[in-house]
Amino acid sequence: MGGLNSCLPSPIDTIHSLRRRRRNLLTKIKHDQIRSNNNNKNNSINLNHASEDEFLMLPGINRQIAQSIIQYRQLNNGFKQIDELLYITGIDHDLYERIRFDISIDSFSQNLVNNKQECININSATYNQLCTIPDLTPILIKRIIERRERKGSFRFVEDLLSIKGIDYIVLASIRSYITVDDRQIPISVSQSLILDPSVNNLYPTLNKNNNNNNNNNNNITSDSLSLASLLLETLPPELQTILLSSTSSQHPLVTCQNKQTYIRFASWNLQQLTNDKVQNPGVREVICRTILEYNFSLIGIQEIGNKEALDYIIEELNHPTIPLIKDWPNHHHGKWTCITSDVSGRMFQGSEYLGFIYDESIGIELKKASLLPFKNYFTRSPYIVIFRIYDKYEFVFVNLHLKARRFDENENERTKDEALSISILAEAMNDTVEQKHIVIFGDFNILPTASEFNALVQRNYSYVIKQNTNISMKTPQGSTCVDNIWLSTEAKALTTENSGVIRDNLTSMWIPAGWTWGGLVSDHCPIWIEFDLS
């Protein structure tokens, strides 16, 4: 019995044995998991190498999302983390959870960041040295060398954009490899932001930073350079909007006195608002921010380039994705909708539509809408819409975009003829439309004091806007008054003292401006009038 007991392991030995077995089992499980993960990765789609068609194999990924993934990859030298997919428009948390186990990532991009090669000076590099820069083809390298031999050294990295074949995507992919000297600080635009007062008028954010830091010059320069640096960064739209949210104005400039009785109407020529243009987050941010800042409830739009373009604005107002709009203080969650005409006429490189954006939740109801059959009188047919507001007043809004004036005097005659025709339009409505609160508005391409409007004045219509309504980077205060709002006597009787032209905060760091960024959303300012319907 004693011999048998001596053969049995002690309790301590048993515990050690069990621990060894447990460690071995856990090690085996861990190795099996690693092997399984490696096998899965071998069969998964690699974010940094997959083609557009390969991305389409993932559930929920359409071609537009696939293209956005590839564009993000190009602009950021690859994905560093899988969850960067959440920056892509169209990929929400649910879709991310569905696909994240079917995708993988390599360490190429992270190694690129950690082991970044010394920047190559494009002003002194040889042909062979330039050949080491990814995405620079022999043709582009030859053009770079020819450009610096012909015009001298590059002052800024952004000067490469003047070379045929180098766009902002190519520049973004090579930016981390190049410099023009020992420093890589892009200051071409920052200098103009700091030194040019006319440009500063278009960038109130920079002005505000400067005013808040008058006692600290170092902070002024640092903040301005930081914003200007962001201005030059060619990040994907999703990241741009995140950065944008920290630099834009956070407070409404004007507030409506009483939303139950006061309504603000605006008119805005959005200069070829195509689907491509409106998908720029800076464009949507400026438009939506302006609507929220000024408490507009009804906006008439000219120069719409695609019938669906206004839908993007409505979607952003109802379901914000841009951080600044999403986090807008005291954001009124309205029920925004829009209506767009059929083709009104032609504009540069396409058809033009006219439209309206309005908030149904405050009591604006669409009654009728139609293009007027006045083709003999107008190059672009007027768009007439009747709204019932607060279940009390019915307004007739006539949206117009007259023919643009040309240098040729004969062409200008057509613009004058169309202005004269407005009085004929007003007379026709007087005979056929029972509503008397009539608002004729839009882009008239002619001064309101022109003799062509005399007939309209004789019918007791009066115009609202007397200031310049155009805007450009060179002339931020404008040079002429071409947009306006004409009111019938009955409509004018309901107006308050509040009206004007919006000239501030019409730029975004993410709207192209030639070869740089920070452009205007349109070359027309929005104009507005307030009605008291109490």
191 pLDDT tier (thresholds 50, 70, 90) = very low
Per-residue pLDDT at 23: 52
Strands 350-359 and 336-340: antiparallel
* Same domain assignment for residues 110 and 122: no
pLDDT at 240 over 50: no
Q: What is the pLDDT of residues 72-100, one digit of tens each?
A: 887 777 788 888 888 788 888 888 888 98
Per-residue pLDDT at 193: 30
Mean of the pLDDT values across residues 279-285? 92
Which backbone phi and psi does 483 adopt, to 5 degrees? -100, 140
Most confident of 85-99, 222-236, 486-500: 486-500
**Under 8 Å between Cβ of 379 and 403:** yes
Report which of 428, 450, 437, 426 is spatially closest to residue 386, judged by C-alpha positions: 437
Q: Is residue 97 part of a domain?
A: yes
Q: Is residue 247 part of a domain?
A: no
Strands 364-371 and 345-347: unpaired
Report which of 81, 83, 73 is spatially closest to residue 50, judged by C-alpha positions: 73
SS3 content of the chain, % helix, strand, coil (to 5): 45, 20, 40
Range name among 29-43, 400-414, 512-526 with the lowest pLDDT average: 29-43
**Distance from C-alpha of 296 to C-alpha of 403, rounded to nearest angstrom:** 27
* Same domain assignment for residues 202 and 91: no
Give me the CATH number covering residue 53. Answer: 1.10.150.320
The crossing angle, in degrees rounded to 10, of helices 281-293 and 237-244 is 30
pLDDT at 36 over 90: no
* Same domain assignment for residues 329 and 466: yes
* Same domain assignment for residues 317 and 424: yes
**Distance from C-alpha of 241 to C-alpha of 346, rounded to nearest angstrom:** 33
Range name among 63-67, 217-221, 273-277, 526-530 with the lowest pLDDT average: 217-221
pLDDT at 514 over 90: no
Which backbone phi and psi does 388 adopt, to 5 degrees? -100, 125
DSSP conformation letters of 16-70 = HHHHHHHHHHHHHHHHHHHHHHHHHHHHSEETTT--HHHHTTSTT--HHHHHHHH
Where is pLDDT greater, at 263 or 35?
Answer: 263
pLDDT at 195 over 70: no
Query: Which of 91, 116, 141 is where one domain is finished?
Result: 116
The token pair that represents 171 in the structure block? 């520049």
Per-residue pLDDT at 378: 87
Per-residue pLDDT at 237: 44
Range name among 12-21, 140-149, 215-224, 465-474 with the lowest pLDDT average: 215-224
Q: Is residue 150 part of a domain?
A: yes
DSSP conformation letters of 135-154 = T--HHHHHHHHHHHHHH-S-
Diameter of the chain by CA atoms? 128
* Same domain assignment for residues 85 and 195: no
Name the one residue in this structure whose structure tokens are 């278009």: 202
Name the one residue in this structure whose structure tokens are 């070869």: 515
**Under 8 Å between Cβ of 351 and 304:** no
Where is pLDDT greater, at 188 or 80?
Answer: 80
| DSSP label at residue 166 | -
Per-residue pLDDT at 308: 95
* Same domain assignment for residues 172 and 195: no
Say how many domains are in the chain. 4
The token pair that represents 153 in the structure block? 């050294």
Give me the CATH number covering residue 448. Answer: 3.60.10.10
Q: What is the pLDDT of residues 440-479, one digit of tens each?
A: 999 998 899 998 898 899 999 999 999 999 999 888 899 9
Mean of the pLDDT values across residues 354-365? 95
Chain-centroid distance of CA 224 in Å reads 22
pLDDT at 534 over 60: yes
Q: Say which amino acid occupies 184.
A: Q
Per-residue pLDDT at 223: 37
User: 424: helix, coil or strand?
Assistant: helix
**Under 8 Å between Cβ of 270 and 527:** no
* Same domain assignment for residues 161 and 99: no
Report which of 388, 408, 406 is spatially closest to residue 397, judged by C-alpha positions: 388
Mean pLDDT in the chain? 76
For residue 46, CA distances in Å to 52, 58, 173, 322 come to 12, 12, 19, 28
* Same domain assignment for residues 475 and 523: yes
* Same domain assignment for residues 227 and 358: no
Burial label, 359 (beta-carbon count in 10 A; 0-12, 13-18, 19+): buried
**Distance from C-alpha of 369 to C-alpha of 269, rounded to nearest angstrom:** 19
* Same domain assignment for residues 99 and 171: no
For residue 227, CA distances in Å to 106, 195, 210, 230, 426 come to 32, 14, 12, 5, 49
For residue 202, CA distances in Å to 177, 194, 196 come to 32, 12, 11
Q: Is residue 250 part of a domain?
A: no
Q: Is residue 248 part of a domain?
A: no
User: 411: helix, coil or strand?
Assistant: helix
Mean of the pLDDT values across residues 263-290? 94
pLDDT at 222 over 80: no
Query: Which of 179, 200, 217 is where one domain is finished?
Result: 179
Q: Is residue 81 part of a domain?
A: yes
* Same domain assignment for residues 461 and 366: yes
**Residue 85, domain extent:** 17-116
Cβ within 8 Å of residue 8, ≥6 positions away? none
Q: Is residue 385 part of a domain?
A: yes
Q: Is residue 499 part of a domain?
A: yes
396, 398, 399, 401: CA torsion to nearest 10: -170
**Under 8 Å between Cβ of 219 and 156:** no
* Same domain assignment for residues 414 and 511: yes
Per-residue pLDDT at 268: 98
Name the one residue in this structure whose structure tokens are 């004693």: 2
